[in-house]
Amino acid sequence: MRIENLRTEIRGRKVRRVATVIWEDSPRPTRDVYFATDEAYAADLAPGQHAFLTACLIPAMRHGERRIKLDEPIAPELRNGLHINMVYLRSWYGTPRNLVQIEASTERRQPIPRTATNAASFLSGGIDSLATLRANRLNYPADHPYSIADCLIVHGFDIGGREAVGDEADFFDRTLATLTPIAQDARVHLIPVATNIRHLDDDVTFWMYEFHGAALAAVAHALCRRISRVCIAGTMHVPFLEPWGSHPALDSNYSSVDLQVEHDGLAMSRLEKVQLIADWDVALRDLRVCTMNPARGLNCGRCEKCLRTMLELLACGKLARTSAFPAQDVTADQILNIHIDVEFPAPWYQELVAPLTDRGRADLAHAIQEKLNEFEHHKVWQQEKDWKGLIKRFDRRFLRGVLYQSYRATRQVVRSKAPMLQLLAGAATGLDAWAQLPGGLI
């Protein structure tokens, strides 16, 4: 991969820093990558390549690029941090991720002279970002260097970050208008930033598990003439940490001599974050946790994130005080329709069982526990810890997956409610595959 032709472009009232990204070992298209902001903040856009390198490295690693070549020097501490993060990701997720060689000279200058050294955070309207801002306001006096002065709202991540969906400009404008009173109440500047760096690879799983921490840090690097420290609101707290795209082992390694990156919120569980902001009326009124980006309102009220947040607010006795969701209650049937298939949400649901029971909502607590039990059963099957796992391992090693093929063929026929002849045909497919094994059925 080559990052070339750094330049500044003016598009109406927006000013943006642009670089051309050329893939060398992957058939992905050449793309102009940019970071844009309002003309009022144009002087804060950084001239160097740190933002583009931070944004491009993880996608380059995923897609087998052997190098990233840059025309300008980079800070040695950023180079070292990026190398460490590549080692972490390869350790967590394995092949085919190989380390990408960063081809750039090492800069030897002192930090940029500053007229301001602002601390910043990101503001999406979600629980994590609001808890980071609220905790900062409660813990630091306004004149403290760690007191947040700027909040960045990004167009191109959860809004407009998926190419197939489009730029969702109307929804972004609606979100910006909704978050403005929160920023005013917290006495911070709300700075809109637009970028297309997620379009380097907008796969949702890759975004969540590997890329989004680097993307957030890249946006902060793009404005490092204004900010010298940025807090990235963490998703998980210490007892339940697992590999994730924004992680305390990763985020600080995206720092440079110009920018300190901090992973925030490790000490608080999800419910504790909700409790922290539950008495902040302006934030409670305009929560935005949904990533479905509905046509009306900020939250659909039906997806897993919406329902989980509504349950958390019920557990705190605060759901009735917000108009952020279409409804002010959750039913057991809605919970039973939630699908939990990964580890990280399970502790968030588990901590809701006791407070919901205490508030007389045993129906919801029971439904949550049923879903958690279902997930544990699913996890045992996934990790092959029970007798079924023994059969699966035997099938893979000695029968070339014939048993699994037979199971799938039969299950598909049963689900389609096909006639018995089709059911027998499905079973015969598996038996035929079995018969092809060396030695026949043995």
From 151-160, 259-268, 393-402, the region with the lowest mean pLDDT: 393-402
Residue 441 pLDDT: 39
Is residue 345 within 8 Å of residue 303, measured between CB atoms?
Answer: no
Q: What is the pLDDT of residue 442?
A: 36
Rounded distance, CA 57 to CA 35, Å?
16
Lowest-confidence segment of 18-27, 113-122, 305-314 by average pLDDT: 113-122
| Stretch 54-75: mean pLDDT | 96
Tokens 């390694």 -> residue = 253
Inform me whether the pLDDT recorded for 75 exceeds 80.
Answer: yes
Whole-number average pLDDT of the chain: 89
Mean pLDDT of the 313-328 span: 96
pLDDT of residue 291: 87
What integer is the mean pLDDT of 35-42?
A: 97
Q: Are 32 and 20 in contact (CB under 8 A)?
A: yes
pLDDT tens-digit series, residues 225-249: 999 999 999 999 999 999 999 999 9
Question: What is the 3-class SS of the chain, one letter each residue?
Answer: CEEEEEEEEEECCEEEEEEEEECCCCCCCCEEEEEEEEHHHHHHCCCCCHHHHHHHHHHHHHCCCCEEEECCCECHHHHHHHHHHHHHHHHHHCCCCCCCEEECCECCCCCCCCCCCEEEEECCCCHHHHHHHHHHHHHCCCCCCCCEEEEEEEECECCECCCCCCCCHHHHHHHHHHHHHHHHHHCCEEEEEEECHHHHCCCHHHHHHHHHHHHHHHHHHHCCCCEEEEEEECCCCHHHCCCCCCCCCCHHHHCCCCCEEEEECCCCCHHHHHHHHCCCHHHHHCCCCCCCCCCCCCCCCCCHHHHHHHHHHHHCCCHHHCCCCCCCCCCHHHHHCCCCCCCCCHHHHHHHHHHHHHCCCHHHHHHHHHHHHHHHHHHHHHHCCCHHHHHHHHHHHHCCCHHHHHHHHHHHHHHCCCCHHHHHHHHHHHHHHHHCCCCCCC
Whether the pLDDT of residue 327 is over 70: the answer is yes
Q: Is the pLDDT of residue 173 over 70?
A: yes
- pLDDT of 114 reads 53
Categorize the per-residue pLDDT at 27 as very low, low, confident or very high, splitting at 50, 70 and 90: very high
Among the listed residues 9, 58, 89, 389, the one whose alpha carbon sits nearest the alpha carbon of residue 217: 58
377, two tokens = 């059963």
How much is the average pLDDT of 186-211?
A: 97
The per-residue pLDDT for 425 is 54
pLDDT-based confidence at 217, cuts 50/70/90?
Answer: very high
